[in-house]
Structure 1
């Protein structure tokens, strides 16, 4: 059955959501591991600044990738809403809202990076600040990005919770096991974000929290992406 508003079939929305989720994962991994993990040294401002200056195009590419991820987040929120509203329209709308709020917060957090290169490459700043002060400013911007992202991930976790619940309640609309993993991932995101702010020795348990987030998150989100791309035709059976 086609959608009355756009004439597009549920399979179309399944493909949009699946492709968006998969491309988003690829771009996010590139930005995270090549830029955030590869260039930024949390306890060494001078080395971080040197890495960014020496790899300016990589840094810029990472920012562009994150911007594309923001656009994909909006598309995925829209497509998942259309797919899940037959299960419960109000909850599907709530899930979309949680993802859009996360996207907005992440976009605001990402804006901190826009000032990093001007600070490091602008000779005029050296007349006001020393190099060490500029490097400290850069680290403050990076910390502001990280803190904003952590807050946003709480909303993202809430999004996954609602999506996972809708999948479980869909009666086979989408495999229940995917919904279970998404709920586990939602708990991981929320717990990890809260732990960042509550535990002064968070770094001592960083690996444990990473596993709590990454394992169900990767399994749940990638399983959903591939299922929508490969088996999304089953969505039509619900319409």
Structure 2
């Protein structure tokens, strides 16, 4: 087998690995954030949030496990994207991969705050009634730290997606619609989370904007992942 054939096999395998990892990550995110986090965490109500977690500690721990799956998948995708897109533009592909690794490190830091919140609940059960308010405040502080740090990380994630979309636009084999959706998804992530992180007074307007932009934000990378699984793995060369 020639060196070119070996690299082609690795490149095709990277498309399958990236696509599979993105699907796994999507399901994990829907479970951990879309279902568990949004079910247990009541914004602005630390007492109800604490009560929900105490009643469903195992579910909260499954949320953390889901985030761990996402972190591992992100590391895999960073490598797979780099290998797959390297023939198009080696330097930009490396930069895109590094941006995703920085985002992943930020996400891991954010998730560590959920671990802290979980430990606080486990270590302080049962408690005297007068101590519950203090515990609820501590748990909510950790959860809010998770959300704030993750939001900052998503700005970096948006830059990563924009870079991936820009690289994809240079390859005629990758559908232009997918490339444009990647750029749009990246720009949407950056805009929404810049507003959430640095302009909290606009949260209501940002939430409406996030709802409007949720379609490109979801479809962009997920669409690329599906394309990689069914079409990208068959690419023989980029020219």
TM-score (norm 1): 0.92
Query: Contact between 2:36 and 2:63, CA under 8 Å: does it hold in 1?
Result: yes
Cα deviations across residues 52-72 of structure 1 (Å, max 9, x unaligned)? Answer: 111111111110011011001
Distance verdict in 2 for CA 1:125–1:141, change over 3 Å? farther
Moved more, 33-42 or 102-111: 33-42
1:214 alignment counterpart: 214
Distance 2:161 2:222 in 1: 13
Deviations 1:96-143, CA, capped at 9 Å, x for gaps? 00000000000011001112122123248958x821011001111011
Dislocated runs of 4+, deviation >6 Å? none
Partner of 1:225: 225
8 Å contact from structure 1 (residues 15, 229) kept in 2: yes
The answer on 1:28 being equivalent to 2:29 is yes
Q: TM-score, normalization: structure 2?
A: 0.92
Contact 1:41/1:48 (8 A) holds in 2: yes
- For 1:10 and 1:148, how far apart are their aligned partners in 2? 33
TM-superposed CA distance for 1:40, in Å, is 0.1
**Offset of residue 203 of structure 1:** 3.4
Residue number in structure 2 paired with 1:111: 112
The whole-number CA distance in structure 1 between the counterparts of 2:65 and 2:110 is: 14
**Which residue pairs with 1:191 in the alignment?**
191
Verify the 8 A CA contact 1:105 1:148 in the aligned structure 2.
yes
Correspondent of 1:2 among 1, 5, 18? 5
* 1:206 to partner: Cα distance: 4.2
Asked if 1 retains the 8 angstrom alpha-carbon contact of 2:61 and 2:118, the reply is no
Matched residue SS, 1:119 = helix
Residue in structure 1 matched with residue 133 of structure 2 by the alignment: 132
Cα distance, 1:211 vs structure 2? 2.6
Q: Is the 8 A contact 2:103 2:154 kept in 1?
A: yes
Describe how 1:150-169 pairs up with structure 2 within 5 A: 150-169=151-170
Question: After superposition, what is the alpha-carbon deviation per residue over 1:117-174, rounded to whole angstroms, capped at 9, x for unaligned?
Answer: 22123248958x82101100111101110111011111101100110000001122x2
Contact 1:17 1:75 in 2 (8 A): yes
- For the pair 1:65 / 2:66, whether they are aligned, the reply is yes
Partner of 2:181: 181
Q: 1:2 and 1:72 mapped to 2: Cα distance? A: 27
Q: Unmatched 5+ residue regions in structure 1?
A: none
Partner residue of 1:46? 47
Greater shift after overlay, 163-172 or 115-124? Answer: 115-124
What corresponds to 2:98 in structure 1?
Answer: 97
In the alignment of these two chains, the number of paired residues is 235
